[in-house]
Chains A and B, each alone.
Chain A
Amino acid sequence: MSESELNRLREDLRVTINELSKTYEELSLLYRLTESFSGATVDELCDIIIEEITTQLNVKTIAVLLYNQSLKQLYTKKAVGRWQVDEETLRRIRLFRDMLSRGRATTICDVTTMEEMKGLGFKSILLAPLSGKKSPVGLIVVADKVEEEEFFSGDVKLLNTISSFAGLFIENAMLAEEIQAFFIGAIRSFVKALEARSLWTAGHTERVTRYAVEIGMELGLSRKELEKLRICSLLHDIGKIAIPDQLLNKMGALNEFEWEELRRHPVIGADILSELVGFVDIIDCIRCHHEHYDGTGLIGLKAEEIPLAARIIAVADAFDAITFDRPYREKKTVDYAVKEIVSNSGTQFDPLVVDAFLRWIESTYHIVMSDTKSGT
């Protein structure tokens, strides 16, 4: 083999390895994206997109625009850098709208020559459509490299990889959020219907939900756990639907028989919710939300046998029951409620939950709790 042939082969090999390296880089990016994208919310997806573009391309400005299907308009979902484009301007830029239906990214080397874009203050931009399975989802706008260079074909390829993937994930996440919103909305409507039967319980569920989520946050629960806690709190009293009106609205003290009947509502609630196949943990939580930490409750579960969400709801529920009027007694002060809950810590309530509750109370009501520490 001649020297020149050998050199040509060497050069070929060098180019091949270089190409291989780029492909491998892209492959690793895809793997990383699959991992970080899965299970993410729309907000988290946008954060990941921006973070990934920031590390891959050294640019000054990144914006993720989403397309509102019903208004047929783009809006800024998330942006970093010098992105100061209002909705009105966004609507006017035809190029952005046209890009939505395109399959691939495009660069514009000199934005300043374009009438509709020159006001934005960018020099060169790179646009990539975010596409769902059938319809456009949005647009990624990347502007001006830090080193003032133009965008290369490698940059376009990279953005294409990210955007083609991200579009599908955003579409899915939007759908999931829609379903979730419908689900939560349906639960809220049930609760409203339930609470409409009794003046005394109006707003109780929403307040308990708020308190429970606050306590959950103090306990450091994850986003998923908080979401579950929220659903459980909204549903916790659903069993009261089977409690007769005259009992729910009875003025004055309840007799033993009436208490017995009222106390069954967690179990009735769990029974009603047994239709929620696959949500055993939610049903368990509803069933257990009046269990006592020391095992003296209706079912007799104790400590960790009671789901954490139920132990949290128990405290939130008690706090609201004490601080609001009930037909059988008048409301008491926050101070009184706190003392009452603390004195039942370790017996009725989980001490760790009570501690978290106290931290939340301290930060919300600015009450100093030094003399009312729970029994841990």
Chain B
Amino acid sequence: MAKVMVIDDEPFILMMIEDKLKRAGLQVVTLRESKSAISRIREEKPDLIILDWMMPEVSGIEICKKLKSDPELSDIPVFMLTAKGQEDDERLGLSTGVERYITKPFSPRSLLEIVLERVGTK
């Protein structure tokens, strides 16, 4: 069973994604604060990370950059949650190794679909 780690400071988004993915049979680990993200990712070794861009303390992009420069963690695919209108920043993010951008408010149903598409066979 694939393990997905969701990092977002908005509790409802976190609960909603957790509920949706768990119902589909995925293992879900959630994290509400970004400071300990890297160490938690190292502990959990998830198959996929869903990461919010805009978080206090450490932003999703920073986490992703650190992740990609760490040979042990760099293979984990990252989906980035962005706010509307942030699409222009995507070019900035491209070099950080984000695999997919998902604009908020996203459809929970299609989020599940693309997550399953990526890790469903694990």
Residue positions of A touching B, CB distance < 8 A: 14, 17-18, 20-21, 24-25, 27-29, 31-32
Give residues 12-34 of B contacting A (CB, 8 Å): 12, 15-16, 19-20
Main secondary structure of the interface of B (DSSP, over half): helix
- Flag B61-104 by CB within 8 Å of A: 1 or 0 each: 00000000000000000000000100000000000000000010
CB<8 Å pairs between A and B, sample of 24: A14-B19, A17-B12, A17-B16, A17-B19, A18-B19, A20-B12, A20-B15, A20-B16, A24-B16, A24-B105, A24-B106, A24-B107, A24-B108, A25-B107, A25-B108, A27-B105, A28-B105, A28-B106, A28-B107, A28-B108, A29-B107, A31-B84, A31-B103, A32-B107
Residues of A within 8 A of B107 (CB): 24-25, 28-29, 32
Q: How many whole Å from A280's CB to the nearest CB in chain B? A: 27
The CA-CA distance from A59 to B20 in the complex, in Å, is: 24
Q: How many whole Å from A165's CB to the nearest CB in chain B? A: 15
Residues of A within 8 A of B109 (CB): 25
User: B12 touching A31 by the CB < 8 A rule?
Assistant: no
The CA-CA distance from A27 to B106 in the complex, in Å, is: 8
Q: How many whole Å from B5's CB to the nearest CB in chain A? A: 19
Residues of B within 8 A of A29 (CB): 107
Q: How many whole Å from B84's CB to the nearest CB in chain A? A: 7
The CA-CA distance from A21 to B23 in the complex, in Å, is: 13
Q: How many whole Å from A48's CB to the nearest CB in chain B? A: 15
**Which 4 pairs from chain A and chain B are nearest by CB?**
A28-B105, A28-B107, A27-B105, A17-B19
User: B20 touching A21 by the CB < 8 A rule?
Assistant: yes
User: B105 touching A21 by the CB < 8 A rule?
Assistant: no
The CA-CA distance from A27 to B12 in the complex, in Å, is: 14
User: B19 touching A21 by the CB < 8 A rule?
Assistant: yes
Additional A-B contacts beyond A20-B15, A21-B19, A24-B108 (19; CB < 8 A): A14-B19, A17-B12, A17-B16, A17-B19, A18-B19, A20-B12, A20-B16, A24-B16, A24-B105, A24-B106, A24-B107, A25-B107, A25-B108, A27-B105, A28-B108, A29-B107, A31-B84, A31-B103, A31-B105
Closest to A29 in B: B107
Closest to A27 in B: B105
Residues of A within 8 A of B103 (CB): 31
